[in-house]
Amino acid sequence: MFIQQLYTGCLSEAAYYIESDGEAAIIDPLRDIDVYLQLANDRKARIKYIFETHFHADFVSGHIDLSQATGAPIVYGPGTVTKFPVHVAKDGEEFVLGQLRIKVLHTPGHTLESSCYLLKDATGNNHCVFTGDTLFVGDVGRPDLAQKGEELSMNELAGMMYDSIQRQLLPLGDEVIIYPAHGAGSSCGKNLGKETFSTIGEQKKYNYALQAESKAAFIKVVTDGIPAPPQYFPVNARINKEGYDQLDQVLTKGLTALSVEAFKKEKEANCIILDTRHADQFTQGFVPGSIFIGLEGRFAEWAGSLLSFSTPIILVTESGKEKETIIRLARVGLDKINGYLEGGFDQWQQSGEPIDMIIDVEADELMMDIPHDPNLVVMDVRRETEFADGHLKDAINLPLNEMTDPGTMANIEETQNLYVHCAGGYRSVIASSMLKRQGIHNLRNIVGGWGKIKEQERAEIVKEKSVLN
C-alpha cells in the first residue's frame, strides 16, 4: 500500500495518489495532471480510478483531462448529475484497487453529492478515510454552497452534514486516519487547522464542530460567523459539473508572445492586464492600467476573486514564469488568456512607452505624516475580522475582496491622500493597483503593512468589540 498527499499551498488543496499492486487511484486532482501521470509512470503503475469527493467550488479539477489521458472512470457520489460520462456510485459501493478496497460513504452537507472514501487495507481493516470538504482538521466544510435549483438553506445543509458525520465518519474508529481536501487558509471552511491530516480520535477531541452536544448546537456553531464565499466559487462548481477546455489548448493560446505593439492592441481591446511579478518589482514600475496579483501570494484565489471570467487577460510576468502563471489561473477557471508581453516590463519600458508606479512608504513615515496632513486617510484592506482585532484610529476598512464593486470606491475624494495597507504588504499592492486602474492615483502603499504599523510607538490602536463578539 502506497499513499501520497499532493499538497498545493496557494490553494490549500490536497489531492491524493493511492496505489497497490501496480494499480493507482487519484482523489480530487487539480487541473494540471502531469504530476499524477508522472508519479504513476515512475512507479510503473496504472491509474485505474479517479475519485471526486464533490463538485469543487474553489478550483477546477483535472478529472476530465485525467480520464481522457488514462481511460480511468471518474467516480462521484450518489445523486451526481454531469454533462460528461461518470460512474455515479452507490452509498456503500466498493472498488478494488490491488489488495485494497475503497468504500463510498455518502456524506451530504457541504454539497448534496459530497462523499468520503474509506480505504480498507489488505486485511479488510479501516485504514484511512478521504474526507473531501466534509471533515477537515479542526473544522468542517461550509454548508452554504447550495447549487442553483437545489433551494436548500444553509441550516438544512448543516443539519445534513451533522447526520453524515455522526452516521458515516465517527463510527469508523479513533485510529482511522483522515485525509481532507484542504488545509489552513482555505475558504471552504471557517478556520482550518495547519495540519493536513489527523485521525478520527483527534478530531473528536479537538475539532470545535464535533464538540456540539446536539444537532441544533452543531448547526449554530457551524453557521455562526461564516464569511461570504469568494465570488468565483459558483463559477468553478459549474465548470466542474459541466466540463472545460483541455489545459493544453489553454496553454497554446496563452503562451503567445506579444510584441509591444501587439500587446498595445490587446490592451486597447479592453483586455485585463495582469502583472504577476513580485510586489517589490511592480510598485517600481508597471504598464498603466495593470492589475497586480503576484505569484508569491495566494495567487489563484485572489485572481478568481477579483478578475472577470468573461474578459480576456494579457500577462506581464517575470521571464520564464509565463507557463506557471497560465496553469495557476486555469486552476480556478480563468483560461481566456490571449498571450503575454514578450520581454516583459523591461521591454515595455525600453520601447519608451508610458509607465506608472506606486509610492512605497515605511510605517514610521506614516506616523510622521498623520499629525500634519488633514487630508490623510488610512485605508485598511484586510478582512473585517482582521480590522476589528486591531486597527489605526480613524482608519477606514475596505476589504480587498469587496473592491470588485466600483461603488465601494465612490466615496473616495480627489483631495484625500490615501495610505493603503494590509497585513504584510501583498494585498495592499493589489488594492493600490485596482485603485489606480479606477483613476485614483493619490495613494501610497505601506511597506510591511499592519505588521510594521503596530510596532510604532505613536500608533493609536483600537478594536471593534461588537464585531469580535
Q: What are the CA-CA distances from residue 320 to residues 209, 276, 284 (Å)?
A: 44, 12, 20
pLDDT for res 150? 74
Closest C-alpha among 99, 114, 102 to residue 73: 102
pTM score, two decimals?
0.93
pLDDT for res 145? 87
Q: Write phi, then psi, for 385 (nearest 5 degrees).
A: -70, -35
pLDDT for res 411? 76
pLDDT for res 467? 57
Contact 190, 133 (CB under 8 A): no
pLDDT for res 410? 65
pLDDT for res 227? 86
Q: Which domains does the chain have, with CATH numbers?
A: 2-236 (3.60.15.10), 245-350 (3.40.250.10), 359-468 (3.40.250.10)
Q: Write phi, then psi, for 255 (nearest 5 degrees).
A: -85, 25
Q: What is the largest CA-CA distance in the chain?
A: 75
Q: Please tell me whether residue 17 adopts helix, strand or coil conformation.
A: strand
DSSP state of 183: -
Question: Cell numbers 498623520 label which residue?
Answer: 370
For residue 460, how many other CB atoms are within 10 A of its CB? 12
Q: Please tell me whether residue 369 adopts helix, strand or coil conformation.
A: helix
d(C-alpha 244, C-alpha 334), whole Å: 11
Q: What are the CA-CA distances from residue 239 to residues 31, 67, 73, 83 (Å)?
A: 11, 16, 18, 10
pLDDT for res 466? 62
The sign of the dihedral angle between the CA atoms of 297, 301, 306, 310 is positive
The residue type found at 98 is G
Measured distance between the N- and C-terminal CA atoms of the chain, rounded to whole angstroms: 48
Q: Write phi, then psi, for 14 (nearest 5 degrees).
A: -120, 120
pLDDT for res 413? 84
pLDDT for res 407? 66
The radius of gyration of the chain's CA atoms, rounded to the nearest angstrom, is: 24
C-alpha cell at 256: 503567445
Query: Beta 313-316 vs 337-341: how paired, if at all?
Result: parallel
Question: Cell numbers 488545509 label which residue?
Answer: 183
Query: Beta 257-258 vs 115-120: how paired, if at all?
Result: unpaired
Q: Please tell me whether residue 419 adopts helix, strand or coil conformation.
A: strand
Q: Write phi, then psi, for 299 (nearest 5 degrees).
A: -60, -60
Q: What is the 3-state secondary structure (H, E, C) of 270-299?
A: CCEEEECCCHHHHHHCECCCCEECCCCCCH
Which residues share a beta bridge with 316?
275
d(C-alpha 290, C-alpha 432), whole Å: 10
What residues of the chain score a pLDDT lower than 70?
Answer: 149, 406-408, 410, 466-469
In our burial notation (b when 16+ CB lie closer than 10 A, e otherwise), range 141-166 reads bbbbbebeeeebebeebbbbbbebbe
d(C-alpha 336, C-alpha 250), whole Å: 7
pLDDT for res 406? 63
Edge-to-edge, what's the strand order for the sheet holding 337-341? 257-258, 337-341, 313-316, 272-275, 291-292
Contact 387, 464 (CB under 8 A): yes
Q: Which helix (H) or strand (E) element contains residue 359?
A: strand 359-361
For residue 439, how many other CB atoms are within 10 A of its CB? 9
Closest C-alpha among 101, 95, 2, 76 to residue 45: 2
The C-alpha angle with vertex 79 and arms to 78 and 81, in degrees rounded to 5, equals 125
Contact 340, 254 (CB under 8 A): yes
Q: What long-range pairs does 396-399 form, CB within 8 A, spacing at least 24?
A: 398/431
Which residues share a beta bridge with 67?
none
Closest C-alpha among 345, 313, 339 to residue 257: 339
